[in-house]
Amino acid sequence: MKRENIATNGLDRSSLHRSDKSWILDKFNDEQTRIIPVHNLTVLCDNTKQPKGVYLTLKDFVKPLDIVDSMIFLGFYDEMPYFAADINSDELASNLIKQKNAVFQDLQSVISLLDDRDCELLTISRFMIFWHLRNQYCGKCGNKTKSSDSGHVRICQNKACKEHYFPSMDPAVIVLVTYGDRCLLGRKKEWLEGMYSTLAGFVEPGETIEDAVVREVREEAGIIINLDDVKYQHSQPWLFPSSLMLGFTAKAKGKEIILDKKELDDACWFTRDEIKLNPRIVPFKVSIAYKLINEWLNKGD
């Protein structure tokens, strides 16, 4: 079963135990524990056309202590403990590839092929490693930080500072705009040929998410929408690198498009029939954009 949107509801994060070092160590040494290796922000998958995540145990490491400092407790999935580990040694990464007949893959390139468990666990693992790599130093005093609470906090090691840093996601809005029997979709140059998607952008400081929807649509496509017509639908963590996508629908006051070429290569109004006759228009099923578009298509049946 392929995932239609990313929703992190399968993982029991057991966050109350993160600061209990003896409890975490016990889970780390549990023979049921599975370790998700991340190397240069790529994830280990089997070498097949339908990739699956490769999960390791402590027995897969000649020197398990070498990875202890990089271990991040993720929680339980189907009552099994999971940790993420940063594999910062090319030699170790190469050995794992040979040992498991696997390959380290760019997650974004295979995410639409993964099942629910892999999609959730590999995405969170990559995000947590990414966050640690980019918070090695204190932004307040410049001293080194150190991982704490099983990898969910970094603390400045300057005793006069001791600033705490926590993983976070940046709020972004994504919206399906309609006008009569048509929906507004845009595309960027780097996307697959013929593919369009819903408009999206980050929420600015001091801005409500509804105001962000109105602003982004106006800026990117010159389309005016009523604030009262902005309706929340779904959310999706999109951790490439650290966004929380908040999905909306909205209605346009008019259909004249004034395109911002800095943001989009093109934007068009599409009917349901046009999209159904040309499925390559819609983005990957793993995205919240696909979900918003698909729900609108089905409403017309």
Looking up residue 276, the CATH number of its domain turns out to be 3.90.79.10
Instruction: Looking at the structure, tell me whether residues 178 and 77 fall in a common domain.
Output: no
Region 127-146: what's the mean pLDDT? 97
pTM: 0.90
Instruction: Looking at the structure, tell me whether residues 31 and 124 fall in a common domain.
Output: yes
Inside any domain, residue 149: no
Inside any domain, residue 159: no
Distance CA 43, CA 52 (A): 10
Instruction: Looking at the structure, tell me whether residues 99 and 192 fall in a common domain.
Output: no
pLDDT tier at 68, thresholds 50, 70, 90 = confident
Please write the tens of the pLDDT for every residue from 249-295. Answer: 999 999 999 999 999 999 999 999 999 999 899 999 899 999 999 99
Inside any domain, residue 148: no
Region 73-88: what's the mean pLDDT? 96
Of 54, 66, 59, 62, the C-alpha closest to 29 is: 59
Instruction: Looking at the structure, tell me whether residues 122 and 177 fall in a common domain.
Output: no
Inside any domain, residue 165: no
Q: What is the rounded average pLDDT for all residues in the chain?
A: 93
Please write the tens of the pLDDT for every residue from 26-51. Answer: 999 999 999 999 999 999 999 998 99
173, 168, 263, 259 alpha-carbon torsion, rounded to 10°:
20
DSSP string, 52-91: -B--B-GGG-SSGGGGGGG-EEEEEETTEEEEEEE---HH
pLDDT tier at 69, thresholds 50, 70, 90 = confident
- Residues 6 or more apart whose CB falls under 8 angstroms from that of 26 comprise none
Burial class (CB in 10 A: 0-12, 13-18, 19+), 166: exposed
pLDDT of residue 9: 61
DSSP label of 262: T
Please write the tens of the pLDDT for every residue from 146-170. Answer: 999 999 999 999 999 999 999 999 9
Q: Per the structure block, which two tokens stand in for 121?
A: 């666990």
Residue 71 backbone dihedrals phi, psi, to 5 degrees? -70, 135
Report H helices in the chain.
Answer: 21-28, 90-100, 107-110, 116-133, 209-221, 272-277, 288-299
Domain boundary among 110, 134, 158: 134
CA distances from 220 to 185, 191, 232 (A): 11, 17, 20
Instruction: Looking at the structure, tell me whether residues 186 and 291 fall in a common domain.
Output: yes
DSSP bridge pairs for 237: 244
Burial class (CB in 10 A: 0-12, 13-18, 19+), 243: middle
Residue 217 backbone dihedrals phi, psi, to 5 degrees? -65, -40
Instruction: Looking at the structure, tell me whether residues 223 and 293 fall in a common domain.
Output: yes
Inside any domain, residue 252: yes
Inside any domain, residue 27: yes
Q: Is the pLDDT of residue 127 over 50?
A: yes
Domain boundary among 106, 134, 162: 134
Region 76-97: what's the mean pLDDT? 95
pLDDT of residue 1: 33
Distance CA 100, CA 104 (A): 11
Q: What is the 3-state secondary structure (H, E, C) of 242-273?
A: CEEEEEEEEEECCCCCCCCCCCCCEEEEEEHH
Residue with structure tokens 């594999």? 87
Inside any domain, residue 55: yes
Domain that holds residue 254: 170-299
- The least confident of 64-73, 79-88, 174-183 is 64-73
pLDDT of residue 65: 67
Please write the tens of the pLDDT for every residue from 216-231. Answer: 999 999 999 999 999 9
Instruction: Looking at the structure, tell me whether residues 174 and 120 fall in a common domain.
Output: no
Chain mean position to CA 79: 23
Inside any domain, residue 155: no
Number of domains in the chain: 2
Region 171-191: what's the mean pLDDT? 97
Q: Give the amino acid at 17.
A: H
Give the Cα-Cα-Cα angle 75, 79, 80 (nearest 5 degrees).
65
pLDDT tier at 2, thresholds 50, 70, 90 = very low
Chain mean position to CA 150: 21
DSSP label of 300: T
Region 90-105: what's the mean pLDDT? 96
Instruction: Looking at the structure, tell me whether residues 23 and 121 fall in a common domain.
Output: yes
Region 235-239: what's the mean pLDDT? 95
